Amino acid sequence: MKSVRNMAIAVLGGRFDPIHIGHLIIAEDLLDMLNVEKVIFLLSYNPPHKQVFCSFEHRFNMIKIAIRDFKKFEVWDIEKKLNLEKSFSYLVLKEILKFIKEPIYFVIGSDQFEVFKSWYEYEKILEIVNVVVVQRPNINYNYPQDLIPKVKILNNRIIEVSSSEIRKRIKEGKEYRFLVPNGVYEYIKENHLYY
């Protein structure tokens, strides 16, 4: 891995459909463990491998609500502005590097690292940014052994909550108030999302 000086930023990509407390706790761990200046929530616009259940605008608004009191957290809508047919990480990161001079930690989940070799231009991603793997609840992932020396695997807190669980609970009429920030909970109810 390339050496990373202070004032680096962490880029945490995802659908955030919806954002929940687990995402925020991971972002907090990134600040502490990587000593970065800020954490960027990079919202997926046209994710190549996954379905979205809520509009980009609603997901963007929920992130803004969730992080509004945290000066070291930001949300970027660059993927929508680029309007790529599919938001492949390599293409998005190449654009980000045109205006970001600080070193970048590109954060992916352990489930994504397991299939990282299937990503578009994965080798080039490893060349242009520092890839960081955050642990997800399933601890039995089959990581590509040859890539382990090329990434940083964090010993972050494991949070047993997922966006899919929240969507399921909403659909089934079950409570989910404590799985998302208060403002996000109110936003979901006001806009009748995921029902």
What's the pLDDT at 63? 98
Give Cα 187 distance to the centre of its chain: 20
Percent of residues in the chain assigned helix, strand, coil, to nearest 5: 40, 15, 45
Structure tokens at 178: 């404590």
Q: To the nearest whole percent, how much of the chain has pLDDT over 70? A: 96
What's the rounded mean pLDDT across residues 167-186? 97
Statement: residue 49 has pLDDT above 80: no
Statement: residue 1 has pLDDT above 60: no
Distance CA 2, CA 34 (A): 14
What's the rounded mean pLDDT across residues 20-42? 97
Q: How does the average pLDDT of the chain come out, rounded? A: 93
Statement: residue 171 has pLDDT above 50: yes
Q: To the nearest whole percent, how much of the chain has pLDDT over 90? A: 82
Statement: residue 3 has pLDDT above 50: no
What the chain holds in terms of domains, given with CATH numbers, is 9-159 (3.40.50.620)
What's the rounded mean pLDDT across residues 166-191? 97
Least confident of 15-24, 120-129, 132-141: 132-141
Distance CA 164, CA 69 (A): 25
pLDDT-derived band at 176, boundaries 50, 70, 90? very high
